[in-house]
Structure 1
Amino acid sequence: MSLSELRTLGRTGVPISPLTLGTLNFGTGSAPTGPEDSIRIIRTALDAGITSVDTADIYSQGEAEAVVGRALQGRRDDVFLSTKFHGQMGSNPAHSGNSRRWIMRAVEASLNRLQTDRIDLYQAHRPDYNTDVLETITALNDLIRQGKILYYGTSVFTPAQLVEAQWIANTNHLVPPVVDQVPYSLLVRANERDVFAITQQYNLGVLSYGPLDGGWLSGRYRLGSRQPASSRADALPGRFDVAAPFNQHKLHAADALARLAERHGLSLIQLAVAFALNHPSVSSVIIGPRTEEHLTDYIKAADTTLSDALLDAIDDIVAPGTNFLERDAGTVVPHLEFAELRRR
Structure 2
Amino acid sequence: MRYRHLGRTGVRVSPLCLGTLMLGAWGANDAAASTRIIDRALDSGINFVDTADSYSRGETERILGDALARPGRRDRVVLATKVHSPMGVDPNARGNSRRWIVTAVEDSLRRLRTDRIDVYQVHRSDPHTDIEETLDALTDLVRAGKVRYIGSSTFPAHRIVEAQWAAQQPGRSRFVLEQPPYSLLAREIEADVLPVCAQYDMGVAVWSPLAGGWLSGRYRAGAEPETSGRAARWAARYDMARPENRRKLDIVTRLAELADEAGLSLVHLALGFVLSHRAVTSAIIGPRTLEHLTGQLGAADLQLSADVLDRIDAIVPPGTTPNPADGGWRAPELDDPSLRRRA
Q: TM-score, normalised by structure 1?
A: 0.96
Asked whether the 8 Å contact 2:6–2:202 carries over to 1, the reply is yes
1:204 paired with 2:202, answer: yes
1:233-268 CA deviation, whole Å, 9 max, x = no partner?
122123112232232221111111111111111111
Matched, 1:277 2:297: no
> 2:53 corresponds to which residue?
57
Q: Please list every run of at least 4 consecutive aligned residues from structure 1 whose deviation after the TM superposition is greater than 4 angstroms.
A: none
**How far 1:155 sits from its partner (Å)?**
0.5
What is residue 17 of structure 2 aligned with on the other side?
A: 20
Q: Does the alignment pair 1:7 with 2:4?
A: yes
Match of 1:311 among 296, 302, 309: 309
DSSP 3-state at the match of 1:11 = coil
What code does the residue aligned with 1:19 have?
A: L
Q: Secondary structure at the match of 1:120?
A: strand
Alpha-carbon contact 2:27-2:288 (below 8 Å) kept: no
3-state SS of paired residue (2:238): coil
Say whether 1:225 aligns with 2:223.
yes
Deviation per residue, 1:19-55 (Å, 9 max, x gap)? 0000001123x43222110011001110110001000
SS at match of 2:179: strand
Counterpart residue number, 2:299 = 301
Structure 1 alignment gaps of length 5 or more: none
Most deviating of 304-313 and 52-61? 304-313
Aligned-partner residue type, residue 58 of structure 1: S
**Residues in 1 aligned to 2:46 and 2:31: alpha-carbon distance in whole angstroms:** 19
- Structure 2: unaligned runs, 5 residues or longer: none
Distance 2:251 2:229 in 1: 23
1:63 CA displacement: 0.3
1:193 aligned partner: 191
2:106 corresponds to 1:108? yes
Deviation string 1:56-93 (CA, Å, 9 cap, x unpaired) is 00000000000000110121000000000000002222
Distance 2:266 2:172 in 1: 43
The answer for the alignment partner of 1:184 in structure 2 is: 182
Opposite residue 211 of structure 1, the aligned amino acid is P
Deviation at 1:327, TM superposition (A): 2.7
Q: How many Å separate the matches in 1 of 2:119 and 2:335?
A: 30
Does the CA-based 8 Å contact 2:2-2:301 persist in structure 1? Answer: no
Question: Match for residue 63 of structure 2?
Answer: 67
CA distance, structure 2, for counterparts of residue 334 and residue 231 of structure 1: 26
Q: 1:113-149 deviations in whole A, cap 9, x for unaligned?
A: 0000000000000001111110000000000000000
Amino acid aligned to 1:269: V
Is the 2:18–2:41 contact (alpha carbons within 8 Å) kept by the matching residues of 1? yes
CA offset at residue 172 of structure 1? 4.8
User: Any idea what SS the aligned residue of 2:118 has?
Assistant: strand
Q: TM-score, normalised by structure 2?
A: 0.96
C-alpha distance in 2 between matches for 1:239 and 1:315: 22
> Secondary structure at the residue paired with 1:301?
coil
Q: CA deviation at 1:338?
A: 1.5
Q: Is the 8 A contact 2:236 2:325 kept in 1?
A: no
Looking at structure 1, the residues matched to 287 and 110 of structure 2 have their Cα atoms a distance apart, in angstroms, of 25
Mean alpha-carbon deviation: is it higher for 224-233 or for 209-218? Answer: 224-233
Give 1:8's aligned amino acid.
H
CA distance in 1, matches of 2:63, 2:333: 38
Equivalent-residue separation in structure 1 for 2:81 and 2:310 (angstroms): 36
Q: Which residue pairs with 1:43 in the alignment?
A: 39
Equivalent in the alignment of 1:260:
258
CA–CA distance in structure 2, aligned partners of residues 24 and 55 of structure 1: 7
Is the CA contact 1:220–1:228 (under 8 Å) kept in the aligned structure 2?
Answer: no
- Percent of residue pairs identical: 52
* Distance of 1:251 and 1:90 partners within structure 2: 37
Q: Residues of 1 paired with 2:269 and 2:153: CA distance?
A: 25
For residue 248 of structure 1, what is the amino acid of its counterpart? R
Query: What letter corresponds to residue 179 of structure 2 in structure 1?
Result: Q
Give the distance between the partners of 2:12 and 2:236, measured in 1 at CA. Answer: 39
Counterpart secondary structure, 1:12: coil
Deviation string 1:284-307 (CA, Å, 9 cap, x unpaired) is: 110000011111001022243210
User: Which is worse superposed, 16-25 or 86-95?
Assistant: 86-95
SS in 1 for 2:298: helix
Cα distance in 2 for residues equivalent to 1:193 and 1:126: 20
